[in-house]
Every structure is written in structure tokens, then in C-alpha cells.
């Protein structure tokens, strides 16, 4: 199979190899591709909304406390959304990395 082989040609070959009617296999393959694409779009939109909310919250904290480090504020707000054990683990990792960097 060459790099120039199209997806529909590969789908046709795979459908034939599986003994499925080619049109049914191609329809199923196209359906799965569309479903995957929709999920990726939804996930990207959800991530963008979350990032915008986080950015707004960081801005509010920095407006009230201009001397605060923006990266630490962002990290703290992210941790507040995590379960306590994960929060502790991530804080320890960040603290250790900072201590190593200072040496």
C-alpha cells in the first residue's frame, strides 16, 4: 500500500478482507470518523471555555493582589478544582521542581 492510497481505497480493501459488504463497511467507517471528529470539536470547545474562565479568575485575583505571581495564582486555582490527594501530589511535585531549580 502506497502513501497515495486514499482512505476510501483502504476502507474498501479492509471491508473485502473482513467479508463485509463494502458499502456497509465504508458507511460504518465514515460514521466512526464523524463521531470522532464531533468529540474532538466538543472537547476543544470545552477546554477553551475552561481556559477562558481560569484566565478571568486569575485576572480577578491579580486585580485584588497585584504583587502576586500570576503563575502561582493560576496553579493554585487549577489545584482547587482537583481532589485533595491529587492536589497534594501536584503541589509536592511543583515544590520539588522549584527546590531543584534554586540549587
CA dist list (Å): 27 to 7, 30, 44, 54 = 12, 5, 26, 41
Half-sphere exposure of 83 (CA within 13 A, CB side): 2
State the pLDDT confidence band at 6, using cuts at 50, 70 and 90: low
- pTM check: above 0.75: no
Which grid coordinates belong to 49?
471555555
| Residue found under cell 456497509 | 24
Q: Could you read off the pLDDT of 45-98 as tens digits, one per residue?
A: 999 999 999 999 999 999 999 999 999 999 889 989 999 999 888 888 878 877
67 φ/ψ sector (left φ>0, alpha ψ -120 to 50, else beta): alpha
Amino acid at each position: 500500500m502506497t502513501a497515495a492510497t486514499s482512505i476510501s481505497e483502504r476502507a474498501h480493501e479492509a471491508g473485502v478482507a473482513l467479508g463485509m459488504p463494502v458499502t456497509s463497511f465504508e458507511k460504518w467507517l465514515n460514521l466512526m470518523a464523524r463521531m470522532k471528529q464531533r468529540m474532538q470539536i466538543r472537547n476543544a470547545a470545552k477546554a477553551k471555555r475552561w481556559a477562558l474562565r481560569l484566565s478571568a479568575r486569575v485576572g480577578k485575583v491579580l486585580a485584588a493582589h497585584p504583587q502576586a505571581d500570576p503563575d502561582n495564582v493560576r496553579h493554585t486555582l487549577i489545584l482547587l478544582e482537583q481532589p485533595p490527594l491529587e492536589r497534594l501530589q501536584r503541589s509536592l511535585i511543583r515544590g520539588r521542581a522549584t527546590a531543584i531549580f534554586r540549587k
